Structures are given as structure tokens and as C-alpha cells.
């Protein structure tokens, strides 16, 4: 990114507030203007009793799969510092694997390429031959994608979910249509379909068309396809979900205008 200069372009950063600083700093380093608008809130599950009972017997599982960095942070919090020495640990992507490693957990399975359920399911360690009869616990947020669990169940695994956090849409902050920065918004970033949904809620009907025509950077082809169903007209797919990949995608779009 040494030759990237965003020349003051305004970039909407929609990550949850506790995860936005890194992206904001990188945007500023390449002369962009980060505009933080958290479009996702992460909080504890509505009911934690069943979760705590499930995790009290964590040793009966053969494998634990963590689907996101948030799943790591919240899941390990509910495990209260307990280690998982006899359980094989899998991570959906490199960032999730790094979060686990930083907490002292060895990760046995991580996709060689990609960072989603499809990529993890392609690993030999999750083939039918490998998982038949195995007990697998999936750490995720409430109402997460079903593909991973359903596929593993079809392959013969005994799957349970530890839903360790929930996602919600933040309360609107004032009238976005009157915000001075909205007229200087050049690029929007989003890292999940939930964020896209929440953005349209936060912007409201009056600003829907503006949001649809503003260039949007997402982190997967699946997100790109979903953005198109929402009417977004210019969608760029970053090479990965990390901050650097997102900024590189913004730089490529700006330089190619």
C-alpha cells in the first residue's frame, strides 16, 4: 500500500465499535478520512443458563469450531480460562486462528484458502471419514449460518451449538440525512450481511438511494451477491476480511476511477 493515496476520500467504517480502530487507522495512514458508524453491536446472549450448562461438560466433545473472532472472545470468556487440551480446535479463518493462538490455544484445523464455512468444510479433517461419530461443538453468535453444522451432521458428526453472543442493530444516532459528513461519503465498507441489513435500517428510506449508489467494499462473493439484492450498484470484493485487504481494495477502486 506504499503507493496508495486516498486523497481525502471519506470511508464509512461499519465494524462494531470495539473492532473498528485498526481499519480507521489504516485509512488515515493512506490519507483517507475514516468515518466510523458502527452498524453492529455485539452483546451477551439473552439466556446464558443453557450455554453455561453446555460448556460445563465441554470435555465430552472431540472438536470445537470457532466461526469468528467474536466467537473466540465470547466463547473463551464463558469457558472462564479453561483450556481444551484434549479437544481439536478448528477456526474458520486466519484472524480467528490468531485470536485463539493469542489466548494460548493450539489450532489444528484452519482453511488453507478462504475464510468462510465453505472453505473450512473443504479441509480433509472435516471430511465424512474424519468426522463420522465425532462430537463437535460450534462456537458462534445467535442465529448464525446453518451450513457448517448441517453439512457436518450429514457427514455423520454429532453437532451442538454454543451461541456465545448476539448481534443487534445499534440505535440510530441523530438524523443521518442531516449529518455533514454524508455529503462527503465516497466509499462504504461492510464485513457481514448483518451489517448491510443494519446499514439500510440506520440510513432509512430517505437515504436508501444514496447508500445504493455509493461504492461498497465487502469481503466475499457471497456478500457481493447479497448487496446486489439490496440494490447496491458498485460492489468491490476485498481479497480478505482483514483491515489491510479492505484498505487495499479501497485503494484499487480509487486508483481505477
At 97, list the grid cell.
486462528
Question: How high is the pLDDT of residue 76?
Answer: 96
Q: Which of 167, 195, 222 is the last residue of a domain?
A: 167
> Is residue 257 exposed (0-12), middle (13-18) or buried (19+ Cβ within 10 Å)?
exposed
Domain count across the chain: 2
pLDDT, mean of residues 4-32: 95
Q: Is residue 255 pLDDT above 90, yes or no?
A: no
Question: How high is the pLDDT of residue 118?
Answer: 93
Instruction: For residue range 119-150, list pLDDT tens digits in order.
Output: 999 999 999 999 999 999 999 999 888 999 99
Give 256 or 123, the one with higher predicted confidence: 123
CA geometry: angle 55, 57, 61, nearest 5 deg: 90
What domain range includes position 19? 10-40+173-256
Residues 121, 63 within the same domain: yes
Residues 197, 91 within the same domain: no
Question: How high is the pLDDT of residue 169?
Answer: 95
Distances in Å between the Cα of 25 and the Cα atoms of 6, 20, 143 are 13, 9, 31
Question: How high is the pLDDT of residue 179?
Answer: 65
> Is residue 75 exposed (0-12), middle (13-18) or buried (19+ Cβ within 10 Å)?
buried
- CB distance 222 to 192 below 8 Å: no
Instruction: For residue range 191-243, list pLDDT tens digits in order.
Output: 999 999 999 998 888 788 989 999 999 999 999 999 999 999 999 999 999 99
Predicted TM-score (pTM) of this structure: 0.90
Element (H, E) at 149: helix 147-154
Contacts of 215 (CB under 8 A, 6+ apart): 186, 187, 188, 234, 235, 236, 253
Q: Which of 126, 141, 167 is the last residue of a domain?
A: 167
- CB distance 61 to 137 below 8 Å: yes
Residues 212, 98 within the same domain: no
What's the distance, CA 137 to chain centroid?
Answer: 19
Amino acid at each position: 500500500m506504499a503507493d496508495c493515496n486516498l486523497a481525502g476520500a471519506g470511508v464509512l467504517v461499519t465494524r462494531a465499535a470495539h473492532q473498528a480502530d485498526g481499519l480507521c487507522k489504516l485509512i488515515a495512514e493512506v490519507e483517507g478520512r475514516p468515518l466510523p458508524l458502527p452498524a453492529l453491536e455485539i452483546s451477551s446472549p439473552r439466556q446464558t443458563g443453557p450455554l453455561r450448562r453446555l460448556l460445563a461438560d465441554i470435555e465430552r466433545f472431540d472438536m470445537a469450531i470457532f466461526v469468528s473472532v467474536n466467537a473466540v472472545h465470547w466463547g473463551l470468556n464463558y469457558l472462564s480460562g479453561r483450556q481444551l487440551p484434549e479437544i481439536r480446535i478448528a477456526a474458520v479463518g486466519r484472524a480467528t486462528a490468531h485470536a485463539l493462538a493469542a489466548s494460548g490455544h493450539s489450532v489444528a484445523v484452519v482453511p488453507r484458502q478462504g475464510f468462510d464455512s465453505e472453505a473450512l468444510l473443504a479441509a480433509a479433517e472435516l471430511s465424512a471419514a474424519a468426522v463420522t461419530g465425532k462430537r463437535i461443538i460450534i462456537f458462534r453468535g445467535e442465529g448464525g449460518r446453518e451450513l457448517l453444522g448441517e453439512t457436518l451432521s450429514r457427514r455423520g458428526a454429532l453437532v451442538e451449538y454454543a451461541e456465545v453472543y448476539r448481534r443487534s442493530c445499534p440505535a440510530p444516532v441523530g438524523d443521518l440525512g442531516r449529518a455533514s459528513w454524508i455529503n462527503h461519503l465516497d466509499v462504504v465498507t461492510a464485513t457481514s450481511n448483518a451489517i448491510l441489513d443494519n446499514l439500510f435500517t440506520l440510513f432509512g428510506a430517505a437515504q436508501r438511494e444514496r447508500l445504493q449508489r455509493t461504492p461498497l467494499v465487502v469481503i466475499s462473493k457471497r456478500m457481493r451477491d447479497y448487496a446486489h439484492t439490496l440494490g447496491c450498484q458498485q460492489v468491490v470484493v476485498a481479497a480478505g476480511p482483514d483491515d489491510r485487504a479492505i484498505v487495499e481494495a479501497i485503494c484499487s477502486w480509487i486508483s481505477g476511477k
